[in-house]
Amino acid sequence: MPRFLAALLLLGLACNAHADSYLTRLLNKPVPGGVAVVDLGTATQAPKASYQGKPVLVVREQNNWLAIVGIPLTVKPGNQQISSGNRNLSFSVGNKKYPEQHITLKNTRQVNPNPADLKRIDEELAVQLRAYRSFSPGTPSNLLLDKPVNGPLSSRFGVRRFFNGEERNPHAGLDFAVPAGTPIKTPAAGKVILTGNYFFNGNTVFVDHGQGFISMFCHMSKIDVQVGQTLARGAVVGKVGSTGRATGPHMHWNISLNDARVDPAIFIGAFQP
């Protein structure tokens, strides 16, 4: 076989091997609210990467470094770029249409808060955004997650929400319909970085899995962990409840990557295209 043909064959095999890489096949869902897996090459040390000015999770798979990029729901379909060293690397974001959900709340303050409520909401939002933006150096123990509870989904990620007929922010997580008091388990090892009781979210726990890969659980009836506590996979963080803006007991779970709320279903193999 001529040398140049052999070289082309080897190059094709290498490209196919990467295209079929385990994490790429499982996690690469480049849509608004999804995840892009971007090849960073074969550097000796872990390269750094950023997207929209925020640091990105980088992991190694075999000989390649991969950037695991969270794509905000607000991103429009088209080309996007991450930065790594002196390089700009592109990926394409496809379209995804999310359905609507209409919810009726008896407590109208949960739809149109009064001035005192708004002051509290703003203060609490600032605290929670700091948690979402935290970036610890440790690599996550696993990117493939367990469900925090076993039960049916009552609301999917990205749903456009209308409360008492008024549109509010899209649903930024998954809701599981499970009874009050059901234990909520962390889907992977991590460290508790924030707990609190908030106007909209009720009793809430943030768990940092490493490099900006963060779980948030809310509407809990009880919190069973403390800030700074290190958790093994499957450790109980609290109990299901209906605190905050909720129509009944359920478990709400967010996943955040590089301060972008993304669909947790991607990491449990239940993503719907």
Q: How many domains does the chain have?
A: 2
On whether residue 273 sits in a domain, the answer given is no
Residues 108 and 235 in one domain: yes
pLDDT digit string (tens) for 73-93?
Answer: 999 999 999 999 999 999 999
> CA of 67: how far to CAs of 20, 75, 82, in Å?
16, 18, 9
Residues 207 and 136 in one domain: yes
Residues 84 and 128 in one domain: no
CB-based contact 267:228 (threshold 8 Å): no
First-to-last alpha carbon distance for the chain, in angstroms, is 42
| Domain encompassing residue 12 | 3-93
What's residue 273's pLDDT? 62
| Burial class, 210, CB count within 10 angstroms (exposed 0-12 / middle 13-18 / buried 19+) | buried
Residues 144-177 as b or e (16 or more Cβ within 10 Å = b): ebebbbebeebbbbbbbbebeeeeeebbbbbbbe
Residues 196 and 172 in one domain: yes
Q: In terms of pTM, does the model score above 0.85?
A: yes
What's residue 5's pLDDT? 35
Q: What does DSSP say about strands 100-103 and 160-163: parallel, antiparallel, or unpaired?
A: parallel
Residues 135 and 233 in one domain: yes
Residues 85 and 104 in one domain: no
Residues 39 and 120 in one domain: no
Q: Where are the alpha helices (DSSP H) in 2-114?
A: 3-19, 22-27
CB-based contact 63:42 (threshold 8 Å): yes
- List the one residue out of 72, 62, 195 whose CA is nearest residue 128: 195
168 CA to centre of own chain: 20
Residue 147's domain is classified under what CATH number? Answer: 2.70.70.10
Who's near 104: CB < 8 A, 6+ residues apart?
Answer: 163, 164, 247
Residues 76 and 110 in one domain: no
Average pLDDT (183-187) is 98
pLDDT digit string (tens) for 215-252?
Answer: 999 999 999 999 999 999 999 999 999 999 888 899 99
Residues 123 and 254 in one domain: yes
Among 93, 117, 139, which residue terminates a domain? 93
Who's near 195: CB < 8 A, 6+ residues apart?
Answer: 203, 204, 205, 206, 223, 225, 226, 227
Please tell me the least confidently modeled range out of 1-5, 111-115, 267-271: 1-5
On whether residue 208 sits in a domain, the answer given is yes
What's residue 6's pLDDT? 37
Residues 63 and 115 in one domain: no
Among 60, 93, 126, which residue terminates a domain? 93
Among 59, 93, 127, which residue terminates a domain? 93
Residues 115 and 250 in one domain: yes
Residues 153 and 23 in one domain: no
Residue 68's domain is classified under what CATH number? Answer: 2.60.40.1590
